[in-house]
Structures are given as structure tokens and as C-alpha cells.
């Protein structure tokens, strides 16, 4: 597989080290692709580091029973490896492991510290979003989709839902799953 420019090819050992062996303390949640774990990487080298040191990343690990698979994994690498916009979550790298005991396909993204829009809208105990903030989020999502549609080869985002809108400290970004050219 030809890697997209700027993406790092991680080993399974790197990702195990970054997540403390995909331990329960690193677990963030689960989606259609599989489980998501928090990991730590050195800012410059992207080598795994201990928690609290370097850059936090989110690592999606394909589950065996997932309806998504190699085709979707490859689409994420192909598109997000080339497309960069302030309202799209950045793909840092990927892993395609030959380890028979674990999932073979993983994706490494920048970490979004405020989680998904879904959690802010529907989870009890979270601070409600003000209407101006909701409008701002909608505008940022529209900017991300507009960017995808404006490509020479337009990209369709097929999975727009509140769980795929992630929030960082400043900007709202689309987790670009389900992209089609």
C-alpha cells in the first residue's frame, strides 16, 4: 500500500506502548469501526511516550465483527492523508499489523479533548451548549463539508451525525468516516 504523504506507519508494538496495551484506562469508546483508545506520542518523532508526555492521540482499532473493514480503512488513509482543513480531524497515521492475535487495521487521529457533539447534546451531567455555540458548531461542520465538496474530485461525507462531530478546545471538526469520492 502506498502511504499518503505525511502519514506515519506505526507498528502494533508502538500503538500497544502508546495505549498501555490497549488497557481499560486508555479506553475512550466504541463506534462502528471498533474501539477507540487514548495514546501518547512524542511531538517530534511520534514514538510512543508515557501518559502525560507529548501529544495525545486517539487510536481506532477495527473490531473483527465490524461491518466496516479494509475498504473503509483504506479510504480514510487515502482521503485524510491528502485532505487537510481546520474543520476535519487530522489523521496522524495508521497500522496494518500481521499480528494474528489482534485487529490488524488501526487508525491514529489527533485527539479531540471535548469529545463528541452527541455527548454534549444528550449525556446527562454535561454542561448544556448555548444556542450561539450550537450555531457556531453547525457553521464549522458546514465549512468542513463545503471543503470536501469543493475538491476537484468531490468527496461525499456519508455519515454525518452528532457522534462524528468532535470538539477540541476551539474548533469543531468532522471525524471524516464514510468518505466517498
Catalytic residues: 159
Among 100, 84, 87, 113, CA closest to 12: 100
**3-state SS, one letter per residue, for the chain:** CCCCCCCEECCHHHHHHHCCCCCHHHEEEECCCEEEEEEEECCCCCCECCCCCCEEEEEEEECCCCCCCHHHHHHHHHHHHHCCCCCECCEEEEEECCCCCCCCEEEEEECCCCCEHHHHHHCCCCCCCCHHHHHHHHHHHHHHHHHHHCCCCCCEECCCCHHHEEECCCCEEECCCCEEC
Amino acid at each position: 500500500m502506498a502511504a499518503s504523504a505525511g502519514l506515519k506507519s506505526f507498528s502494533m508494538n508502538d500503538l500497544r506502548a502508546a495505549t498501555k496495551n490497549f488497557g481499560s484506562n486508555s479506553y475512550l469508546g466504541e463506534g462502528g469501526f471498533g474501539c477507540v483508545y487514548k495514546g501518547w506520542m512524542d511531538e517530534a518523532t511520534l514514538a510512543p511516550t508515557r501518559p502525560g508526555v507529548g501529544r495525545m492521540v486517539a487510536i481506532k482499532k477495527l473490531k473483527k465483527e465490524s461491518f466496516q473493514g479494509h475498504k473503509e480503512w483504506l479510504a480514510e488513509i487515502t482521503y485524510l492523508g491528502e485532505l487537510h482543513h481546520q474543520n476535519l480531524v487530522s489523521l496522524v497515521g495508521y497500522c496494518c499489523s500481521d499480528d494474528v492475535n489482534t485487529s490488524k487495521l488501526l487508525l491514529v487521529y489527533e485527539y479531540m479533548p471535548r469529545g463528541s457533539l452527541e455527548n454534549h447534546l444528550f449525556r446527562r451531567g454535561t454542561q448544556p451548549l448555548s444556542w450561539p455555540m450550537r450555531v457556531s458548531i453547525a457553521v464549522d461542520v458546514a465549512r468542513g463539508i463545503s471543503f470536501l465538496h469543493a475538491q476537484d474530485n468531490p468527496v461525499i461525507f456519508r455519515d454525518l451525525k452528532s457522534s462524528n462531530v468532535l470538539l477540541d478546545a476551539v474548533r469543531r471538526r468532522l471525524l471524516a468516516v464514510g468518505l466517498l469520492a
